[in-house]
Structure formats: C-alpha cells, structure tokens
Chains A and B, each alone.
Chain A
C-alpha cells in the first residue's frame, strides 16, 4: 500500500486537495491550455498584452515595453498571481534583419506552481531600451547587467548598469549580437595588449565592497585609499 506524495510547499496558495505535481505527457508543440495568468493579464492590462503564445506547454506573453514594470509588479504583488521568483532575464536576437529583438523574463510562481515567460519586442532601428524590473526583483541586478553586457540593451532604472562578464574597459561591442564577429573586432595582439593593461585588482571598487560589507575587514591603509575614491589604479 502506497501513500500519495504530498509535497509540503511553504506558502502554497493551492488548496489542500490540489493534485501532486506531475510531468505533463503528450504536450503539443503549439497550442494547448495557456497559463491562467495570461488571461488575468489581459483582463488587467488590456491592450498592453500584445500576444499570448503557448509553445510546448509554456506560456509566453508579449507585452508593451512601456508598461513592463507595472505588469511585473502586479504579477509579483497580486495575491492571485504571486510570481515571487525571477528565474532569468535574457534577450534573443534573430537572424532575420527585420525581426525585432526580444527581451525575455522568466517568472515563476511558487505558490501557484506556474511558469510565465514575459517578452518585450524591441524594434530594429530604435534605441535598445527597456524598463528595469530591479525595483521589484533585486535578483534582476546581475541578470540585467549580463544582458546589457552581451546585447547592449539598456535597462532604465537599474541602479548600477555596468558590464559584468567582460571587463569594464571593453570597447569591442556586445558579443552576443548577430553583427559581432566571433573573434571580436580587434586583432589578437590588440586584445591581448588591452587585457594585460587592465589592473587585476581594479574591480575591487567601493561599490562592490559595500555589497559584501567586507569593507571593515580590509587593511587600514586600503580602507583609506578606497574611502578617498581611489579605484586602485584605474
């Protein structure tokens, strides 16, 4: 005799008799039931929801970029949605020159066991700008920095939009864009020269140290130099 699996999920909003989560079988490529949050978004925001696609059982909602922060905040705060986990922020550039770039947010509602993919389309020729969701999700901080570093998309409202993977003096462009050559724009010698000219300790800026509150643990004279705004050799 087996007892049914009863997961204990902190803060679950599902009813006590909700079925245990199970892997879906025979999911169609296109179509199928959409995440109920998509319909709720349509009801709440109307025309700001441009399109709803269901691909392999996952729901993608293309929304109006100018209302993005409002939408994300509603999804996060509304008790009927509770999307409390931002899993990823990324972007997609297609090979077709006339297809817009897409910025993608992966949201997960742990309480309702839902997954929602938000997209904003950035048309070609216009400035690559979109609202930051940092005021709602602190997790967006590094994710948006990475997206900016790789695609050059500016997230308005981000508190510290710097490069994160490439070094801060990197001048060759944005590596994941389709017009970026695989080996970079500069010659190998120039790349090496620029890389070696970097100070390996320059990244220990006041901003990064304050994140970890490690400042007080530093040697006294290093504290003094950082306090005076020195970025150790930059």
Chain B
C-alpha cells in the first residue's frame, strides 16, 4: 500500500528532494497501530478502583499519553470497557448490556481484584468475576491497583491489539444473544439506537 504525499499539499514528504513519497507496510500493522494508540475507554467505575482510575486519567499519570484522553461515557463510541470495582448481581445485566452496545472492535479490562474474581466479596450479592458475564482481555490485579498497574495493563492491551490479524475472524466472534432473553435487542432497535447519543443539553435515555 502506498501513502502518497503530493508536493503541493505542503506536508512532510519522505523524499527530501521533492517528488512523491511513499511507504509500504502491512495493513494489519497500520490498522493495529492506529487502534492501539486511540483506545477510547468506557469507564465503568463502581468502587474504590474507580478512584485510582480517575487518578490515572488525571495529570499526574496522564492517560492521554496513550491516546485515551477521551472518556467515552457512551458505550457506542468506546473501544475498551474498563470495569473498575465490584459488580453486584444487580449490575450484571447493566454491564452486559453496555458490552453489547459497544461496537466492534472492542476490548475489556477488568481492573482490580473484585472485578476479576469477586475479591473479598465472596457473598450473596457480588458477581464472582466479570468474566462470567463478558469476555475480558486484561486482568489488572490489586486492591485497588495503583495507576502504574492500570497503565501496565493498558500497555499489555496495546500489545495485544498490535498482534491482532484482520483475517482472523475468530477474535471478533460474539455469542449470539438469546432472542428469548430480556437482553435481546432486535436489529431494528439497534439501528434506531445507533444514532448519536444526544447532545449536551438533551441527553435522553435510550428508547428501550
């Protein structure tokens, strides 16, 4: 594939003497490079891990260095679901619906002991690991993990994204939602819902 910079466009040209510059690369490399450096997180913070997550996003640790400065509070414009904190059973259908609403390609980071395994909350109310509900790419241990830990997990995810191959259909395989379940969204509704989320003064709930 060639990327052509025409001289009249006044951009950096590969050939210092002018003329057409071009590079060759693999499409997978280029796409994965772009994706891994612009992972928009969907923060799903339910507990103290969310505080560390906020610290990671703030100036000291600065997630923006990794192309993640834009927290996507709409799952439809997010790439990576970061579940920070314990998930009670009451939230289980919520996080699964959020995962289903995210568009491919999408990834998930389970941040902290509770999200990964239920942690110390081995009781009647807490999901024992969100991987029982949604697929997880990276588990970040800690109670809560320090921002460095989360950033390490994010960099691991970036490495994972960089190794993906577009020809491999299996990595995008999603289980078909069961049409008899309450969570099934018919395609017509998805089309309707895929419209922009609203604007700053009129953020209405979804029609479902």
Contact = CB atoms under 8 A, between A and B. Distances in A.
A37 interface: no
Interface stretch (B27-35, B92-100, B165-173): B92-100
B89 A192 contact: yes
A198 B132 contact: no
Nearest to A167: B90
A182 interface: yes
The main secondary structure of chain B at its interface with chain A is: loop
B124 A197 contact: no
A218 B124 CA distance: 35
Interface in B51-101: 89-90, 92-94, 96-97
A196 B124 contact: no
B181 A172 contact: no
A219 B127 contact: no
B202 to A, nearest CB: 10
A35 interface: no
A192 B127 contact: yes
Contact of A166 (B90, B123, B182): B90
Contact of A188 (B94, B128, B207, B208): B128
Q: How large is the interface on B (under 10, 10 to 19, 20 to 34, 35 or more residues)?
A: 20 to 34
A191 interface: yes
Interface of B: 89-90, 92-94, 96-97, 122-125, 127-128, 132-133, 181-183, 204-205, 207-208
A182 B118 CA distance: 14
Given A175-B124, A188-B128, A196-B133, A219 B89 contact: no
A196 B204 contact: no
Interface string A187-207: 010011011111111100000
B182 A198 contact: yes
A224 to B, nearest CB: 12
B204 A219 contact: yes
Contacts of A197: 93, 181-182
Contacts of A191: 89, 124
Given A196-B181, A197-B181, A199-B182, A182 B93 contact: no
Contacts of A180: 124
Contact of B96 (A183, A196, A222): A196
A41 to B, nearest CB: 38
Contacts of B183: 196, 199
B204 to A, nearest CB: 6
Contact of A233 (B96, B124, B127, B182): B182
B92 A201 contact: no
Contacts of B182: 197-199, 202, 233
A17 interface: no
A21 B93 CA distance: 50
Contacts of B205: 218-219, 222
A181 B64 CA distance: 46
A172 B89 CA distance: 13
A177 B204 CA distance: 40
A98 interface: no
Given A196-B92, A196-B181, 5 more contacts: A184-B124, A192-B133, A200-B93, A218-B204, A222-B207
A192 to B, nearest CB: 6
A221 interface: yes
28 contacts: A167-B89, A182-B123, A183-B122, A183-B124, A184-B125, A191-B89, A192-B89, A192-B127, A192-B133, A195-B90, A196-B93, A196-B96, A196-B133, A196-B181, A196-B183, A197-B93, A198-B90, A198-B92, A198-B93, A199-B93, A199-B182, A200-B93, A200-B94, A219-B205, A219-B207, A221-B207, A222-B205, A232-B208
